[in-house]
Chain A
């Protein structure tokens, strides 16, 4: 077996107030896989996402990205390897222009000059937003901002792309366009969502999370056909 792109072992986390958000979550994703992580609101999905690049630290358990464990010493390399796209693009896009925003990640990793330019253009082309390069993020539509948000992490050339609720708030056409664009990306992907149609359209493998545990993990058509399982997990 190859080294997993992402390996989460017995991951537990409790908030400072004692609420347990992750309870021995355990799974791994292999390079090239596209996996959906489904769960109702409050199931612990976003908490898990924040562990994947060390923004939150586990109470117990480990996270490994392409074999490298998330520790203080290799936080930088971990953050380069994991491309996190947050739910609200207004949180993700904070620079005055799209060009600067897409360049922010690679520039933090000392990429500069022509290579930086190549990465910025490449990432924007991959999401079909190359024409917006000199526009201000707050002048783009929500769908466009979501695409640019994906480009900001693609420019870091990560090992794995993690998307938190990519389809939220989009109109049906916007959802379809985003799905179509994501489908063209040749990258390992973890899609965190409660949008079943999205999981079905994009992923062959689905995991379900409830109360901080992975309660189901299997081929999409099996998991999504199990109505009682979905209902039990508020999906």
Chain B
């Protein structure tokens, strides 16, 4: 695929991970996150291995770590919450450098930080190596309800169109002296939300018409079924498989 029609999360590369069928990557992501969540929080070494596995996957995908770090910024609000937890947590307390901290809060913060970061990192990697239409097709091939994938597809397709409409409405408002920084002018925002809804509804009617004109009868057509080789599945399952081994071993030896 060519690289000039990318979404912000995607990074064009030619790697084994980019080439893997998207349904394998979806299953692999869900399994990896599952393994991280299932790992007991009071043993540290399994998380180091999970992180190492993720780093290996990122290197295979040839995604720069700076790219990953930038996309991980979305986690910040949760990190903030995690940092607060030891202070506002209740129960048994301990003192670190003269500050009283809740032990349960510390554990909670640790869990959010480590499990959240690993899960998000894996998701960011998936998004960085898979184009949105491929992700949708992947869900379709995993036999997700076609209605759900179709709705997600329409959302992806029309988000830009609707944002464009909103932008034009704002420009038209600004051109007539609208100044959104003044609180008394909140009214026009509300009414523009209303007209945006009406416009989107009308667009929906026109799209439906265009679909009818091309033989749509209420069910999305079936497109080609791509079969995935056993090798692809094996490749895709290697890392989540190892993560599950780590999770299970850590329960046994803890």
- A interface, CB within 8 angstroms of B: 50, 53, 55, 76, 79-80, 82, 84, 86, 88, 90-97, 100, 103-105, 107-109, 112-113, 116-117, 134-139, 152-153, 156
Distance of B68 from chain A, by nearest CB (Å):
24
State the majority secondary structure of interface residues on B. Answer: helix
Q: Which of B48-56, B99-107, B113-121, B210-218 participates in binding chain A?
A: B210-218
State the majority secondary structure of interface residues on A. Answer: helix
Instruction: Name A107's closest neighbour in chain B (CB-CB).
Output: B221
B167 at the interface (CB under 8 A from A): no
Asked whether A94 and B211 contact (CB < 8 A) given A100-B133, A136-B157, the answer is: yes
Identify A109's interface contact among B156, B161, B212, B215, CB under 8 A: B215
- B interface, CB within 8 angstroms of A: 1-2, 4-5, 132-133, 136, 153-154, 156-158, 160-161, 203, 206-207, 209-217, 221-224
For this complex, 8 residue pairs linking A to B, each with C-beta atoms less than 8 Å apart, are A82-B213, A91-B210, A96-B157, A100-B133, A103-B223, A108-B216, A136-B132, A136-B156
Docked-complex contact B157 and A84, CB < 8 angstroms = no
Given contacts A50-B209, A104-B216, A138-B161, 4 further A-B contacts (CB under 8 A): A86-B206, A108-B217, A135-B2, A136-B156
Distance of B4 from chain A, by nearest CB (Å):
8
Docked-complex contact A108 and B203, CB < 8 angstroms = no
Docked-complex contact A88 and B206, CB < 8 angstroms = yes
Docked-complex contact A104 and B133, CB < 8 angstroms = no
Q: Which residues of chain A are within 8 angstroms of B212 by Cβ–Cβ distance? A: 55, 79
Distance of B212 from chain A, by nearest CB (Å):
6
In the assembly, what is the distance between CA of A73 and CA of B211, in Å?
Answer: 19
Docked-complex contact A95 and B153, CB < 8 angstroms = yes
Q: Which residues of chain B are within 8 angstroms of A91 by Cβ–Cβ distance? A: 203, 206-207, 209-210
Docked-complex contact A76 and B133, CB < 8 angstroms = no
- Which 10 A-B residue pairings sit nearest by Cβ, starting from the closest? A107-B221, A108-B215, A105-B214, A96-B133, A139-B5, A91-B206, A84-B213, A138-B160, A135-B5, A97-B133
Q: Which residues of chain A are within 8 angstroms of B5 by Cβ–Cβ distance? A: 135-136, 139
Q: Which residues of chain B are within 8 angstroms of A135 by Cβ–Cβ distance? A: 2, 5
Instruction: Name B165's closest neighbour in chain A (CB-CB).
Output: A90
In the assembly, what is the distance between CA of A92 and CA of B210, in Å?
Answer: 6
Distance of B22 from chain A, by nearest CB (Å):
12
